[in-house]
Structure 1
């Protein structure tokens, strides 16, 4: 995965990782209220975390 900060989904994922959207159920509720698909966003967050940790 190539992180593209011009991509709004990648920007949002970084915000999630930094905790701007809360954690756990709080993050889930905030993302859903803002109109985002939590499951899709969490997958992007997981992909970024795997890459930054060096996992394949």
Structure 2
């Protein structure tokens, strides 16, 4: 889900990424930017990753 205001975007993202430092945050921000611009998809970025409802709560 993405919500826009005049100054920002609020995005909910479920992806196999760990953010541990500033460089990781930059990588995540660039990924989100590409997703919002429809330049890529989660399937392209993480082709072998599977997360379904069965994984919720585990």
TM-score (norm 1): 0.37
The answer to which structure, 1 or 2, has the higher relative contact order (CA under 8 A, 6+ apart) is 1
Structure (1/2) with the larger helix percentage: 1
Structure (1/2) with the larger strand percentage: 2
Find the structure with the greater CA-based Rg. Answer: 2
TM-score (norm 2): 0.36
